[in-house]
């Protein structure tokens, strides 16, 4: 937490301490005056350890004074808050290489499960869309905040087949997003592009328009497995995915197994739909301090503790 005017905080502490000291002195004088004219039984009862409402009232008043001083100091803190009106499009690779089983049970099945985790992890009200791509790209689900519709759409993601056109997928996703507000694209792929427009060029254009691209690489390079039905090794192009994310101020995450993939997408669901925002706590502190001070002073006057 930071303070715009820290001297007010110091003043609040000093005034609260001064009030407590004055209340303590007044209490001692009142006790001494009462004892000077008391009998033995009153002295014994007055010196017993007991609950002192005057002390509670004094502490409450001091707390109220401190809160008001802190409010005048202009307290600011950073908090993670949900983004209102945010929109995210998830691009899911459905090319033939997603049939590879180096991620259990297959890359495609693990990706679909991870997308479900993403949908479950975003705050209610966030608009999501789904784009599937292989040799071309198509919209599976336009932007919506209906999570049930999104879960149904995951079941309509096509089975793996064909080449990989990452640039086409990014361009299609960008067209689904609004012209302003917090916007992001989450790309889930093995990153081995072989068709369509250049992904790096598209990513730079998207980033220039203020849209974030986060990439999740799914697969391994050292499994020794082949893509089923082909003689191609199951690989992943991490360098390409890092470059795509970097071009649009996003982050890259690697997923070697289904659990890690779900964890990465669940984390992205939080980071792409929340933002760190500077919060001004002056008004809440002032309200709390004022209410506490009024109640304490009012209670003290009614109880005859304060003049």
Contacts of 205 (CB under 8 A, 6+ apart): none
Residue 224, phi then psi, degrees to nearest 5: 75, 5
Residues 237, 184 share a domain: yes
Question: Could you tell me the strand order of the sheet in which 212-218 lies?
Answer: 137-144, 127-133, 87-93, 183-189, 212-218, 252-255
- For residue 92, what pLDDT is reported? 95
Residue 108 located in a structural domain? yes
Residue 199 confidence (pLDDT) above 90: yes
Domain count, the chain: 2
Residues 59, 109 share a domain: no
| Contact assessment for residue 2 and residue 77, using Cβ atoms and an 8 Å cutoff | yes
Domain extent, residue 34, equals: 2-74+281-302
Which among 139-143, 271-275, 281-285, 303-307 has the top mean pLDDT? 139-143
Cα separation, 141 vs 150, in Å, equals 7
Residue 33 located in a structural domain? yes
Query: Over the stretch 206-257, which tens digit does the pLDDT of each residue have?
Result: 999 999 999 988 888 777 777 777 777 778 889 999 999 999 988 888 877 6
Please tell me the pTM assigned to this model. 0.65
Q: Model confidence at 200, in pLDDT bands (50, 70, 90)?
A: very high
Among 129, 203, 118, smallest CA distance to 166 is for: 203
Residue 147 located in a structural domain? yes
CATH number at residue 264: 3.40.50.410
Residue 307 confidence (pLDDT) above 50: no
Cα separation, 133 vs 193, in Å, equals 11
Residues 28, 124 share a domain: no
Query: Over the stretch 81-110, which tens digit does the pLDDT of each residue have?
Result: 555 667 889 999 999 989 988 888 899 998
Residue 274 confidence (pLDDT) above 70: no
Query: Over the stretch 164-193, which tens digit does the pLDDT of each residue have?
Result: 999 999 999 999 998 888 888 999 998 788
Give me the residue label for tokens 């180096």: 102
Q: Which two tokens stand for residue 4?
A: 């715009």
Contacts of 166 (CB under 8 A, 6+ apart): 91, 93, 133, 187, 189, 191, 193, 196, 199, 240, 244
Residue 117, phi then psi, degrees to nearest 5: -65, -35
């Amino acid at each position: 937490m930071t303070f715009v005017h820290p001297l007010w905080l110091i003043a609040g502490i000093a005034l609260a301490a001064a009030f407590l000291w004055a209340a303590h002195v007044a209490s001692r004088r009142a006790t001494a005056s009462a004892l000077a004219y008391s009998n033995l039984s009153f002295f014994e009862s007055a010196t017993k350890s007991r609950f002192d409402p005057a002390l509670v009232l004094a502490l409450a008043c001091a707390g109220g004074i401190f809160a008001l001083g802190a409010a005048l100091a202009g307290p600011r803190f950073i908090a993670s808050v949900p983004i209102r009106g945010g929109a995210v499009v998830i691009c899911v690779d459905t090319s033939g290489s997603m049939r590879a089983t180096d991620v259990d049970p297959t890359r495609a099945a693990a990706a679909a499960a991870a997308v479900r985790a993403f949908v479950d992890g975003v705050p209610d009200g966030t608009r999501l869309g789904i784009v599937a791509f292989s040799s071309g790209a198509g919209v599976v689900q336009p932007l919506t905040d209906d999570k049930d519709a999104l879960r149904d759409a995951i079941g309509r993601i096509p089975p793996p087949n064909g080449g990989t056109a990452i640039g086409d997928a990014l361009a299609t996703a960008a067209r689904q997003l609004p012209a302003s507000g917090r916007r992001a694209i989450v790309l889930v792929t093995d990153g081995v592009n072989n068709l369509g427009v250049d992904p790096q060029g598209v990513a730079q254009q998207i980033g220039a328009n203020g849209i974030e691209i986060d990439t999740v690489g799914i697969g391994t390079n050292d499994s020794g497995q082949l893509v089923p039905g082909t003689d191609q090794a199951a690989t992943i192009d991490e360098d390409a995915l890092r470059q795509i994310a970097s071009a649009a101020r996003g982050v890259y995450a690697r997923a070697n197994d289904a659990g890690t993939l779900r964890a990465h997408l669940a984390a992205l669901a939080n980071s792409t739909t929340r933002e760190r925002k500077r919060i001004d706590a002056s008004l809440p502190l002032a309200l709390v301090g004022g209410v506490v001070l009024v109640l304490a002073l009012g209670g003290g006057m009614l109880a005859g503790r304060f003049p």
